[in-house]
Structure formats: C-alpha cells, structure tokens
Amino acid sequence: MPRRTRAESEATAAAVVRSARDLYAGRGFADVSVEEVAAAAGVTRGAVYHHFASSRGLFAAVHAEVQRAVAEAVDAATRGIEDPGESLEVGARTFLEASVADDARQVVLVDGPAVLGWSQWRAGDAEHSGRLLEDVLAELDDAGRLTLPSVAAAAALLSGAMNEAALWVSGSADRERAAGEAWETLQVLLRAVVRPGRTG
C-alpha cells in the first residue's frame, strides 16, 4: 500500500481538527470522545491518535487553532488603522467579541484553562492575541502616547483585564448585557493609558 503524501496527511489532520472544534464548541471537551471525532472526520480512531497522540493533544491543537482565529479577527479588524490609539480600542473590542462567540467560548474560555492548565493557556494567548496587544502598545510608546512606564507590564495587565472580561461575560446569564457592560468598562481603562494624538 503506498505511503500517504505529506499533503494528504496534513489534510487528514486538518479535517480532524475541524471536526473536533465543532464538537468541542457545542458540547465541551469532557463530553466528546475520540471515537466521535474520528467518525465526524471520516477517519479511524487510530488516525486521530497517529496525528495527535492523545485526546489532550487533539484539544491542544484545536485550542491553538481557535486562539489563532481570534488573533486573525483582531488583525483583520485593525488592518489599515493608522492611529494606534484607535487600533487598540478596535482590537480590544474585536478580541472580546471573538472570544465570547459561540464557536470560541467553550474551547478558549471554559475548557482551555481546565484541560491545558493556566501556564499553557497563557502561553498560547501571549503567542497570538497578546503579541498583537504588545505591538500596538509599543507603537503608542514610540509615539510618546502611552501613559504607563512599561510596555511589557502594560501588555500583561491589559491582557489580564481583557481575558477576565471575556471570562466574566462567558459565565454571565445574560451574555449580551454583560458584554456591553464589560466593553464600556474596558474602554474607560484603555483610554486612561493613551494620551491623545496630535490633531492637525
């Protein structure tokens, strides 16, 4: 029997991740079996383990994919915005909305910390959305518009505030109302760390 090509192998892995993402988002990691993921992807249970070694390994791949998608949404929303202060606000709001959306909330906010642990969860956040946050804060600092003394500390604290806001919204009975309240509060915090830009 001929060996599978790299492209075929990558396509299989991608199909497994897509299927697992849909199932995890709908029911949560604990209620989804590897057999169900394999069936949804049209592959064998052994193929899933071949690519991801364990159910936790599969979840880690799905989690990274969702975090990457959230960061891509932020990047797309802020692309072309010249004012870093505006970019910070637009990016933060997009992050909040994307994180609490139904296709991301369960994976990133509910299961992520529990399955992966806080250390790995934070590392993934820093690699994706956290990197974009630090970049825009560095732009503000270079322009003399950051009111805080440290870009790194500002990024850590604001990232924490945004993640906690997303977690709070996610656990609220009325998520739409909570999201509005969270954004209004977060916007006040963001504007406090940015000096106005020059006009004219």
Instruction: Write out pLDDT tens, residues 130-169.
Output: 999 999 999 999 999 999 999 999 999 999 999 999 999 9
Q: What is the pLDDT of residues 61-93, one digit of tens each?
A: 999 999 999 999 999 999 999 999 999 999 999
Print burial letters for 89-102: b (CB count within 10 Å at least 16), e (below 16).
Answer: bbbbbbbbbbbbee
| pLDDT (0 to 100) of residue 1 | 40
pLDDT tens column, 24-57? 999 999 999 999 999 999 999 999 999 999 999 9
Short-list 135, 70, 165, CA closest to 108:
70
Q: What is the DSSP string of 15-53?
A: HHHHHHHHHHHHH-GGG--HHHHHHHHTS-HHHHHHHHS
pLDDT value, residue 4 = 64
Please give the model's pTM, rounded to 2 decimal places.
0.89
